[in-house]
Structure 1
């Protein structure tokens, strides 16, 4: 009887252990499924830079490249969300997270070695701009070294100026946002700004600043002009190919041009 009782107790313990193991297995497996599903959500990130990408009055991502990102999502079938972040944080996310795609990142030879560039989203040009009242004659970039030149911290323009010999100790003033940059110029706290010229009118209208007071002092022809869809090397190669193919497809179909024309009409 004692042996039978011991056997019954042992069987009960084994059943209890098996139930616990099964419960743990189900919980772990469920967690893996959730994690896998979450990892499949791509994060399109971009800075606040109208009309390319910005938060509208409802606090939702909006802009011409946001519309293109939505079209890419539909065409590729990938699950994605769009986030508007400060440039420094967007750059950090691109460098450190494997699910992040930057909507528009300037393509440079150095970056091309370390990131995946999936196709051109738009093009722009860069110039040194100042107030008309501030009479400045520039024939080359070096001529600006005796002046205060501003750009946005974390932009390629910061690297470009530093490689040309500008420094924060002498003639380079870095800011965190385009609003601060324009305000400093109009208040005479800086002499020149290095900026993307395509967004100029929209930015000044938003700030209530008169564009007639400005003057192009020097166009930088050697400054890179293509803004690309970009991801870090660890981003899924399969998803990268899907996005690359989708961008080429919506351009070939004319859908890309439709979106761009719509925004140009509104602006």
Structure 2
């Protein structure tokens, strides 16, 4: 979701010097991060492109001697284990969704988007705008305002809302949308666009923004004493990567810019 990165290939003396410059004690830990696949934020852990938030976290926290291990897990279980302290944290959450987690710096934006078959897009402002269409939603995901209420109310009615789970849920929803089995899918815009490109459905599907954008973070467990330090170190490490230009280089690998 591994090739050697320039910043991780530095000698031990250079890493130590960076740590001393940042004024933080050297303490090498294994930081265990989880999330369900959500490219380009976090992707296949076995890929040479595990996701830009994964790569940024790995390189930023390597400055402090830490090793970031990322594994794919369902979103609900990832959140549950982060809250309990069974894992160190999760990738790709926000303050509203995870008020109890200790958040690192903003590392992207969540822009909810709705997807229709080409030529069938409609504006969604009220529940009435959703009448007559079958929505493909994902288990344990939170959606914005009108859509959230509609999904919650009709989650057991497959003629209105079809709920699925798993790492390939968005892929299956987009395939169902193209095949006419649902009429609308929902997810984050960057994730939707990335998956549509991967599936070659650019001419078949149409994407529109829905709701306001929010900042995305890596969230650390409130049950672990070191979490506040990890969040601080991630903030400082990301700043170092941005200053050196490395942050932009990682984004470019995923077709993104700062």
| Common fold: TM-score over 0.5 | yes
Q: Which one of the candidate residues 155, 177, 189 is aligned to 2:141? A: 155
Equivalent pair of 1:61/1:83 in contact (CA under 8 Å): no
Whichever of the two has the greater Rg, that structure is 1
Counterpart of 2:5? none
Equivalent pair of 1:124/1:196 in contact (CA under 8 Å): yes
In the superposition, the TM-score normalised over structure 2's length comes to 0.72
Aligned-residue offset at 1:128 = 1.5
Equivalent pair of 2:63/2:237 in contact (CA under 8 Å): yes
Equivalent pair of 2:113/2:209 in contact (CA under 8 Å): yes
Counterpart of 1:226? 215
CA separation in 2, counterparts of 1:116 and 1:55? Answer: 25
Equivalent pair of 2:178/2:205 in contact (CA under 8 Å): no
CA separation in 1, counterparts of 2:48 and 2:215? Answer: 26
Counterpart of 1:51? 40
* Structure 2 unaligned regions, length at least 5: 1-27
In the superposition, the TM-score normalised over structure 1's length comes to 0.70
Counterpart of 2:24? none
Aligned-residue offset at 1:162 = 3.3
Matched, 1:138 2:123: yes
* Structure 1 unaligned regions, length at least 5: 1-38
Q: Which one of the candidate residues 72, 91, 113 is aligned to 1:127? A: 113
Once superposed, which parts of structure 1, at least 4 consecutive aligned residues long, lie more than 4 Å away?
58-61
Instruction: Mark the CA change 1:166 to 1:188 in structure 2 (over 3 Å): closer, same or farther.
Output: farther
1:80-100, Cα deviation, whole Å (9 max, x unpaired): 322122333323322322542
The number of equivalent residue pairs is 220
Q: What is the RMSD of the two structures over their aligned residues, measured on CA atoms? A: 2.9
5 Å matches for 1:77-156? 77-97=65-85, 99-105=87-93, 107-109=94-96, 111-112=98-99, 114-132=100-118, 135=120, 137-142=122-127, 143-156=129-142
Other structure's SS at 1:258 match: helix
Which structure features the higher share of helix residues?
1
